[in-house]
Structure 1
Amino acid sequence: MSARALHAVTRFGLGPRPDQPLPADPERWLRAQIRTPAPLPGPDAADCGRVSRLRRDDPGFMPSGYFPQEARAWLGRLLLSPDGFLERWTDLWCNHLCVSRRAAGVSSWGGHYHRTAIRPHVFGRFEDMFLAAMRHPAMLNYLDNVASYGPGSRAGQNGRLTANENLARETLELHSVTLEGGYAQEDVASLALILTGWNIGRGPDYREPEGFLFRGIRHEPGPKRLMGETFPEGEEGGVAALRFLARHPCTYRNLARRIATHFIADDPPAAALARLEASLSASGGDLGEAARTLVALPEAWQPLRKLASQQDYAVAVLRGIGAGEEGVEPLLNRLGAFDQPLWMPPAPIGWPDKAPGWNAPEQLMRRLDWVSALSSGLAANFPLDPPELVERLRGPLAPEEVRLAVARAPSRREGFILALAHPGMHRR
């Protein structure tokens, strides 16, 4: 068993599965996944728009929108996909441009957002994904742009209604240039005005499209300045402003840091950051090129050191024991019990990507309690012995002391607990 192959499926992917052979050529296996993903089935914009407008007493009302079916399909791919790098890379960008179903309207649109605004662009140009995300109803609902009015617009009631700055602020601070870009509060206010009118259609009853709609009646008239650049009024001004931000050098630095922090270390080496940033800059924000650069970085092949999130750990354990479709519902429930419910980050910055976000004693105890309960069933029914499971999951990456402890465990159940909960299993 190749240590490098196990490293590839654990750090870059989601963990090994017993029904998926380890790659003979790990780098080639990773590069082969850098492609435009095939479209995924699911409710279309007409379905999502209709359901999002239903009232509690309307026929067909769905309290959670399309979330349950979209979540089961998404988690099924995490458990079963042979393309772990593609799925992990997609999850990274879903977290970078996150929405939360805590917000009104997102439960109906969230799966559609991840399937159509993020996933198709994960190996394309960042600016295309960025623009698709900013125009999607899930993002416009989540960050309140649907409630934004230009005070000088026809709908602004002579200044009584104002621009909502939430989307503009998070776009600058988190999604694009960050504070390193040197923007000021006046730039936040200006971007908010630029994006007034970016809204959601009300469907055929109003002769409006489902999904994005530019409402000119709410748009602040006149050209606007953003970080030293002037943008025209209208929808085209918003598109130009977002593309400007997506192409900014500080945005490329932000994206490089996101990638390196997720795949290499909480404090990634400066050389790795520089190469990723240079790749993004030279390619015009091509995320596929950034992925190829990442795979070629020697720093990405250093020993596993990243502490897995609750989701990463749960997925790796269930993949490791060969869970199939029957594992999807327990995984969905487990993420809630682990306080990392799917598509419900606590803030627009997304889920943490560093150890302090996941190493609280209570969080680690929840993992141990879950594995303890899981091991009771494994002891009775699992076809492998605990030492064989360690070999499957970590092989030559497992320290000798772990192998000895598992082999000497006083019972099968305790052996499985050690196999699934030793410190190395929490690293990727």
Structure 2
Amino acid sequence: MSISAVFESALALSRFGLGSGVDGVSAVSNARDSLHQEITEGAPEPQGADLKTTPDLFAALYIYQQEKKGIKDGKAGAPVSAISDMAMTQALQPKKDKPDFNPVRDAALTEADVRFNDTIKSPVIGFNERLVMFWANHFAVAVKKSQSVAITAGAYEREAIRPHIFGHFSDLLLAAETHPCMLDYLDNQQSIGPQSPANRKGTRGLNENLAREIMELHTMGVGSGYTQADVTAFAKVITGWTFSRTVGKAGAIPGTFAFNKRAHEPGPQTILGKTYPDSGFDQGKAVLLDLARHPATAQHIATKLARHFVADDPPAPLVAKLADVFRRTDGDLRAVSTALIEAEESWTPHLTRFRSPLIYLSALIRGTGIRMKPAAIIQALNNMGQPIWQPSGPNGFPDTMAAWASPEALSTRLDVVNALADRADPSIDPRDFARSRLGALLSDQTRDAVAHAETRAQGLSLVLLSPEFMRC
């Protein structure tokens, strides 16, 4: 089905991106060229002096926990000799500015501020940023798990997800599964090989969480042919995959991946009919590579991508195309993303998807140009039901309309939109705003409703709550 270039630009901003920026739909002169350009450029990198690496965040958390422990024990403080002088200086820096030093809270506020007030505004369309959101949800972590997950969730996305969204899936998979945030979230640092040297007394156990979720959620998918025996064998393979909390433990810098040979289950393991010899860390790496190349993984990833960008019930021909490209290119996500935007099935003119709160808030901020306080960003996402980095489980947030289009969910959006409309630039004419931000997607019904609004704020709210603004 052929559509005009003007309509295509508006559709690309909605379906593949994060909505129009303050320059309007006209900022996109050729939608497909712009999408290809964002693939070439890669994911925008969050920038900010207060952003810290995972090791620095672990250092800050260690000092914070030691201080809390010291206060609880009635002591002035606790030893921090396990932290390097440089890391300790960096970790203590916030305390000079804030008497109520809390690095977990500060990290969350910093990450929210940088992403929503800078990073999401930088791409013209936002296809690259949408893919970051997609993959971060695919390899989901939840900040309620622990303080170490909470303080590193943003760094995990920056370090493990963003650099690999247009690389090979196997590299993205390995980066996600070996990041301390994921290892902590799915308890792999607690997993001990039954016959390993670390379990000579037989009192420590095997934890299958990470192995199960890698197969069930991150690669092959539910019902794809693996068995419980495969999960157990894989869990044994990745025993010893851990991270260091303090200098000297597991022989690594705090907040970095470590392979603990003493906790690793010795011997070969058979998974999906293939036997992997014991080669330490490389044994698990070999299994991951084979899982990344499994045909079921190609089908699983293709279905999720098509659902996220095109339809809750994605077109079978589109899924087949994406899965085929995934298999033929050894999981080249640049090629898969290119196939997605080039497939005619991706350009159906009807908006059938419903923006999740995360994508909706991004579109609101991009469209209005408002700079929100990070605490307000976090609160808005909480209110709309998608708290940042806080899904209810490792399967991430749902990606279908039914999850977000309930009357209760729409009511919370009304509150957020009304607050934004009251703060928007008073020179904005809602009628011009509707034409600029929605372009060819603007319906006659929305145009008429905005034209008859009693106030400027009401008119702007009607645009932001219109079906064409909330759908994609």
TM-score range, shorter chain: over 0.9
Q: Distance in 1 between matches of 2:447 and 2:312?
A: 28
For 2:272 and 2:134, the matched residues in 1 are separated by: 28
For 1:310 and 1:37, locate their aligned partners in 2 and report how far apart those are by CA, in whole Å.
Answer: 21
Q: Please, which of 86, 93, 118 is the counterpart of residue 161 of structure 2?
A: 118
C-alpha contact 1:151 1:158 (8 A) present in aligned 2:
no
Moved more, 405-414 or 242-251: 405-414
Distance 1:254 1:162, change over 3 A: same
Q: Deviations over 1:45-72 (max 9, x none)?
A: 4302313434124674634363322232
- Counterpart code for 1:22: A
Decide whether the 8 Å contact of 2:112 with 2:374 is kept in 1: no
* Residue in structure 2 matched with residue 174 of structure 1 by the alignment: 217
Alignment pair present for 1:239 and 2:285:
yes
Partner of 1:30: 35
TM superposition shift of 1:374: 3.0
User: Does the 8 Å CA contact 1:375/1:414 hold for their aligned counterparts?
Assistant: yes
Confirm whether residue 8 of structure 1 aligns to residue 12 of structure 2.
yes
- In structure 2, the residue matched to 1:74 is 115
Q: 2:57 aligns with which of 44, 48, 54?
A: 48
Distance change (3 Å), C-alpha of 1:127 and 1:349: same
- Aligned AA (1:6): A
Residue 284 of structure 1 is matched in structure 2 by 330
Distance 1:357-1:248 versus aligned 2 partners, 3 A rule: same
1:201 alignment counterpart: 244
Q: Please list the CA deviations of residues 321-375 of structure 1 after superposition, one character each: whole Å capped at 9, or x if unmatched.
A: 1224x45553232112222111111110111110111112111111112223333
Q: Residue type matched to 1:16 in 2?
A: S
Q: Distance in 2 between matches of 1:420 and 1:31?
A: 28
The RMSD of aligned alpha carbons is 1.9
Distance in 2, matches of 1:329 and 1:68, equals 6
2:421 and 2:457 in contact (8 A); partners too: yes
CA contact (8 A) 1:194 1:237 kept: yes
* SS of residue matched to 1:64: helix
For 2:444 and 2:168, the matched residues in 1 are separated by 44
Correspondence for 1:413:
457
Query: Who is 2:179 aligned against?
Result: 136
Query: 2:453 aligns to what SS in structure 1?
Result: coil
2:193 aligns to what?
150
Unaligned runs of 5+ in 1: none
Distance 1:102 1:171 in 2: 20
Supply the AA of the counterpart residue of 2:6.
S
Query: Which residues in structure 2 correspond to 1:60-99 (within 5 Å)?
Result: 60=92, 62-64=103-105, 66-83=107-124, 84-99=126-141
SS of corresponding position for 1:178: coil
Partners of 2:143 and 2:415 lie apart in 1 by: 28
Contact 2:44 2:119 in 1 (8 A): no
| Residue of structure 1 aligned with 2:143, choices 63, 87, 101 | 101
| Cα deviation code 1:372-402 (max 9, x no counterpart) | 3333344xx5212221111122122111122
Contact 2:44 2:122 in 1 (8 A): no
Pick closer, same or farther for the CA change 1:53–1:337 going to 2, 3 Å.
same
Instruction: Give, in angstroms, the shift of residue 79 of structure 1.
Output: 4.0
User: What is residue 269 of structure 1 aligned with on the other side?
Assistant: 315
The residue identity in structure 2 corresponding to 1:341 is: P
TM-score by length of 1: 0.94
1:39 Cα deviation after fit: 5.4
Kindly report which structure 2 residues correspond to 1:238-257, keeping only aligned pairs within 5 A, or say none: 238-257=284-303
Structure 1 residues 389 and 329: CA distance shift in structure 2, 3 A: farther
Q: Find the residue that maps to 1:199 and give its secondary structure.
A: strand
SS of structure 1 residue aligned to 2:355: coil
- Between the two proteins, what is the percent identity of the paired residues? 36
Q: Are 1:72 and 1:332, in contact at CA under 8 Å, matched by a contact in 2?
A: no
Secondary structure of 2:258's aligned partner: strand
Match of 1:187 among 216, 222, 230: 230
CA gap of 1:64–1:231, structure 2 versus 1, over 3 A, is farther
Q: Which residue of 2 aligns with 1:228?
A: 273
Aligned: 1:394 with 2:438:
yes
CA 1:401–1:71: 2 relative to 1, 3 Å: closer
SS in 2 for 1:183: coil
1:383 alignment partner, one of 419, 424, 427: 427
* More displaced 10-residue stretch of structure 1: 232-241 or 200-209: 200-209
1:310 aligns with 2:353: no
Any conservation in 2 of the 1:75–1:332 contact (CA below 8 Å)? no
Counterpart pick for 1:332 among 369, 378, 381: 378
Q: Aligned letter for 2:114?
A: A
**Aligned mates of 1:406, 1:146 — CA distance in 2:** 56
Structure 1 residues 117, 265: closer, same or farther in 2, change over 3 A?
Answer: same
Following the alignment from structure 2 to structure 1, what is the Cα–Cα distance between the partners of residues 245 and 369? 45
CA contact (8 A) 2:112 2:377 kept: no
SS of 2:197's equivalent in the other structure is: coil
Determine helix, strand or coil for the equivalent of 1:34. Answer: helix
CA contact (8 A) 1:224 1:230 kept: yes
| d(CA) in 2 for partners of 1:178, 1:376 | 45
Alpha-carbon shift at residue 38 of structure 1 (Å): 6.3
- Corresponding residue SS for 1:356: helix
| Partners of 2:306 and 2:318 within 8 A in 1 | yes
CA distance 1:202–1:50, change in 2 (3 Å): same
Shift of 1:203: 3.7
Q: Which one of the candidate residues 441, 444, 448 is aligned to 1:404?
A: 448
Paired residues, number: 425
In the alignment, does 2:443 pair up with 1:422?
no
SS at match of 1:351: coil
